[in-house]
Structure 1
Amino acid sequence: FDHPEIYGEHGAAYEDNATRFIFFNKAAIELARRLTPAPQILHLHDWAAALIPVYIHAHNLPFATVLTIHRLAEQGSFWGLDFALTNLPQRFFSLRGVEFFGRLNFLKAGIVFADRVTSVSEHHKQEILQPEGGYELDVVLRENAHKLSGILHGADYARWDPATDPLLPAHFECEKLWGKMICRDALLANLGLAPAPRGPVFGMVTRVVAEKGFGILTPLFDRLLTDDVRLIILGEGDPAFETALAIAARRYPARFAYRRHFDERLAHLIQAGSDITLIPSRFEPSGLIAMYSLRYGAIPVAHASGGIQEIVQDYDPTLEPSESGYGFLYYDYSSEAFWDSIKRARALFRDRAVWTGLIRRAMEREFSWSAAAQRYEELYRSLVRETEIAA
Structure 2
Amino acid sequence: MQKILFATSEVYPLIKTGGLADVTGSLPRALQKQGYDIKIILPAYASVLEKASASGIKKITQLDIDGNPVVIKQTRLPGTKVTVWLVDIPEFSERTGNPYCGPDGNDWIDNHKRFYIFSKATELIALNQANLDWQPDIVHCNDWQTGLVPALLSLHPNHPATVFTIHNLAYRGLFSHQAFAELNLPQAFWHHERLEFYGQMSFIKGGIAFADYVTTVSPSYAREIQKPEFGYGLDGLLRYRSDSLAGILNGIDNDEWNPGTDTHLTHTYNRRTLGNKRKNKQLLQEKMGLEVNSDKPLLGFIGRLVDQKGVDLILSQMNRLLTSNYQLVILGSGFPHYEQTLRNIAEQNPQKVAVHLGYDEALAHQIEAGSDIFLMPSIFEPCGLNQMYSLRYGTLPVVHAVGGLRDTVTEQPLNNIDDQANGFVFHQPDGDELYAAIERAAEAYHQPDIWKKLQINAMSRDYSWEQSAKQYANIYTELLS
TM over 0.5: yes
Structure 1 residue 17 and structure 2 residue 132: aligned? no
Stretch moving more, 31-40 or 144-153: 31-40
What percentage of residue pairs aligned between the two structures are identical? Answer: 38
Stretch moving more, 238-247 or 373-382: 238-247
Taking the aligned partners of 1:185 and 1:27, their CA distance within structure 2 comes to 51
Deviations 1:95-128 (A, max 9, x none): 1221111111001111000100001111000100
Taking the aligned partners of 2:182 and 2:476, their CA distance within structure 1 comes to 31
Structure 1 residue 362 and structure 2 residue 458: aligned? yes
- The alignment of Structure 1 onto Structure 2 pairs a total of residues equal to 384
Q: Counterpart in 1 of 2:52? A: none
Deviations 1:4-51 (A, max 9, x none): 211125653222211211111112222333343311101011001010
Contact 1:58 1:88 in 2 (8 A): no
Deviations 1:288-319 (A, max 9, x none): 11111000011001001001122111132242
Taking the aligned partners of 1:190 and 1:300, their CA distance within structure 2 comes to 22
Q: Would you tell me which structure has more helix in proportion to its own residues?
A: 1
Give 1:83's match in structure 2, choosing from 180, 183, 194: 180
Structure 1 residue 55 and structure 2 residue 152: aligned? yes
Stretch moving more, 29-38 or 206-215: 29-38
Q: Would you tell me which structure has more strand in proportion to its own residues?
A: 2
Give 1:289's match in structure 2, choosing from 386, 409, 418: 386
Structure 1 residue 343 and structure 2 residue 430: aligned? no
Give 2:318's match in structure 1, choosing from 203, 214, 221: 221
SS of aligned partner of 1:68: strand
Q: How far off is 1:216 after superposition?
A: 1.3
Structure 1 runs not aligned, ≥5 long: 386-391
Q: Counterpart in 2 of 1:353? A: 449
CA RMSD of aligned residues (A): 1.4
Give 2:211's match in structure 1, choosing from 114, 117, 131: 114
Alignment of 1:219-368 (within 5 A): 219-319=316-416, 321-323=417-419, 325-368=421-464
Structure 1 residue 376 and structure 2 residue 472: aligned? yes
Q: Counterpart in 2 of 1:389? A: none
Contact 1:300 1:327 in 2 (8 A): yes
Contact 1:11 1:239 in 2 (8 A): no
SS of aligned partner of 2:155: helix
What amino acid is the match of 1:208?
Answer: L
Change (3 A) 1:91 1:242: same
Taking the aligned partners of 2:396 and 2:105, their CA distance within structure 1 comes to 30
Taking the aligned partners of 2:157 and 2:292, their CA distance within structure 1 comes to 64
TM-score by length of 1: 0.95
Structure 1 residue 27 and structure 2 residue 124: aligned? no
Structure 1 residue 92 and structure 2 residue 195: aligned? no
Stretch moving more, 176-185 or 24-33: 24-33
Structure 1 residue 39 and structure 2 residue 133: aligned? no
Contact 1:325 1:358 in 2 (8 A): yes
Q: Counterpart in 2 of 1:154? A: 251
Q: Counterpart in 2 of 1:194? A: 291
Taking the aligned partners of 2:164 and 2:209, their CA distance within structure 1 comes to 10
What amino acid is the match of 1:273?
Answer: G
Structure 2 runs not aligned, ≥5 long: 1-90
Deviations 1:71-102 (A, max 9, x none): 10000000111112332211111112211111
Alignment of 1:154-173 (within 5 A): 154-173=251-270
SS of aligned partner of 1:133: helix
